[in-house]
């Protein structure tokens, strides 16, 4: 097609892709082109602005490596990750709501015995004992489900960001028992700033946006015959709940982190006050699919 005006560009591109054998890819790319072209017509970027946009996208690629995923971070701060998770995990039947995977999940965390401590190196902070059950939509326990947990240390860093932490510190996988129960020991999480040394940080600075995440623990719960649940449980008294930079805080995911002042009442040896968390997960039938790790 010979282009004779800007109005011909969009149909020309879509026509060029009509021979795509994969119908889903053909549908996705046609929609993407229509929306992107409409966006360009709406904002009418100058040549300099277009160049800066390309530099921004190139910067995301340059800032991504085995220990950091700037692309996931960009999707997170635009709310896209949260939107995709909630669209794919509606809670119509009482299933646990999803929250984004985030840029810090690593595959192959050690499989632990029930009740094990996931603090693998000296980690400051109050002791936390977490427990719960995994059930289906009818309330029946799901035995043998894999509960993969990971969190930042109370200093606000994941172990892949902090050379002072042991490998796989504050990460672990637990199997549910015949009653669907799981439990582990950790430390109380804290809120933290997301990395801001790349193009995403520059964007947040230009928008004068807060760059903090509220304190949370990540969970990935999977079992054969059930849709893998990726979610987070948030600390109920964290000051960043209403200003999460990734828009991930859903009311049902705010946990009840209870403080206890009697060390003798703890399930294990502790010094000083400790915390407990009870939280159950409900899975929906579906495909047990494990996501691609954003980092190694």
Active site annotation includes 68: no
CB atoms closer than 10 angstroms to residue 113: 9
Active site annotation includes 226: no
Kindly name the residue from 106, 133, 135, 158 that is annotated as catalytic: 158
The DSSP secondary-structure symbol of 208 reads: T
Query: Do residues 218 and 232 lie in contact, with contact meaning Cβ atoms separated by under 8 Å?
Result: yes
Kindly name the residue from 135, 171, 183, 216 that is annotated as catalytic: 216
Phi, psi of 241 (to 5 degrees): -60, -40
Query: Do residues 127 and 187 lie in contact, with contact meaning Cβ atoms separated by under 8 Å?
Result: yes
**DSSP codes of every residue in 191-226:** -EEPP-SSHHHHHHHHHT---EE--EEEEEEE-TTB
Kindly name the residue from 171, 213, 240, 279 that is annotated as catalytic: 213
Active site annotation includes 65: no
Kindly name the residue from 106, 218, 275, 279 that is annotated as catalytic: 218
Active site annotation includes 192: yes
CB atoms closer than 10 angstroms to residue 296: 10
Kindly name the residue from 185, 192, 275, 279 that is annotated as catalytic: 192
Q: Which helix (H) or strand (E) holds 34?
A: helix 23-43
Query: Do residues 191 and 212 lie in contact, with contact meaning Cβ atoms separated by under 8 Å?
Result: yes
Active site annotation includes 218: yes
- Give the residue numbers annotated as catalytic, written as ranges: 158, 192, 213, 216, 218
């Amino acid at each position: 097609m010979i282009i004779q005006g800007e109005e011909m560009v969009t149909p020309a591109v879509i026509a060029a892709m009509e021979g795509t054998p994969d119908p889903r890819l053909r549908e996705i790319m046609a929609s993407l082109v229509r929306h992107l072209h409409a966006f360009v017509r709406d904002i009418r970027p100058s040549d300099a602005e277009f160049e800066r946009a390309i530099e921004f996208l190139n910067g995301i690629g340059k800032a991504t490596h085995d220990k950091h995923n700037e692309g996931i971070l960009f999707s997170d701060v635009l709310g896209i990750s949260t939107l995709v998770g909630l669209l794919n995990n509606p809670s119509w039947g009482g299933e646990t709501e999803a929250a984004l995977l985030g840029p810090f999940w690593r595959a192959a965390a050690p499989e632990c015995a029930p009740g094990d401590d996931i603090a693998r190196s000296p980690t400051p902070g109050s002791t936390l004992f977490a427990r719960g059950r995994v059930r289906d939509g009818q309330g029946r326990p799901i035995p043998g489900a894999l509960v993969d947990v990971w969190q930042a240390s109370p200093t606000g860093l994941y172990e892949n960001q902090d050379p002072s932490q042991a490998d796989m510190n504050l990460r672990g996988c637990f199997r549910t028992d015949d009653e669907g129960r799981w439990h582990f020991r950790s430390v109380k999480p804290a809120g933290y700033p997301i990395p801001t040394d790349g193009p995403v940080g520059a964007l947040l600075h230009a928008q004068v946006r807060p760059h903090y995440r509220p304190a949370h623990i990540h969970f990935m719960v999977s079992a054969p015959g059930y849709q893998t649940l990726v979610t987070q449980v948030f600390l109920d008294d964290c000051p960043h709940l209403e200003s999460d930079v990734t828009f991930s805080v859903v009311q049902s995911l705010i946990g009840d982190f209870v403080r206890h002042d009697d060390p003798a009442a703890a399930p294990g040896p502790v010094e000083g006050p400790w915390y407990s968390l009870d939280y159950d997960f409900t899975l929906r039938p579906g495909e047990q699919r494990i996501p691609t790790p954003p980092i190694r």
